[in-house]
Amino acid sequence: MGLLFRRFQMDIDLLHPDPVEEAKLHKLKRLVQSPNSYFLDVKCPGCDKVFVVFSHAQTVIKCHDCDQILCRPTGGKCKLERGVGFRKKQFQFIKTLNPVSYTHLRAHE
C-alpha cells in the first residue's frame, strides 16, 4: 500500500513576509530582529549647524550656539520642532580587529 502525502498551502508565506506587515510586528517578533530606533542628523534652522540626535531621545535637545530647541521628548520617539531639517543616518559597520591579529595579545594575559 502506498501512502498518500498531501501538500497543504498556508495562508501566509513564512519565508517571504510582506514588508508592510513585517514593519508592524514587535521588534523581537520579526523574521530578522531589528531595532526601531535610529540616529538622525538634525540641522538647526538658526545657525545651520548639524547635530546627531537619537530618535528616542529622553531630554530636550538644544543648539549649543543659538539655544534654539531642536527636539522634545515624548513617550517614545522624540518630536522635532517646526522648521528643523533632518535625515535618518544609515547604519554603518564598525571595522573590528581580525581575531587572528590579536591572539598573541591574549597569550600575555
Instruction: Quote the cell numbers at residue 27.
Output: 521588534
The answer to whether 27 and 42 have CB atoms below 8 angstroms apart is no
The radius of gyration of the chain's CA atoms, rounded to the nearest angstrom, is 24
SS (H, E, C) 31-73: CCCCCCCCEEEEECCCCCCEEEEECCCCCCEECCCCCCEEEEC
Global pTM reads 0.63
Q: What is the pLDDT of residues 22-64, one digit of tens each?
A: 888 998 988 888 888 889 899 998 898 899 999 999 999 999 9
Instruction: Quote the cell numbers at residue 45.
Output: 534652522
Rounded Cα gap, residues 60 and 69, in angstroms: 7
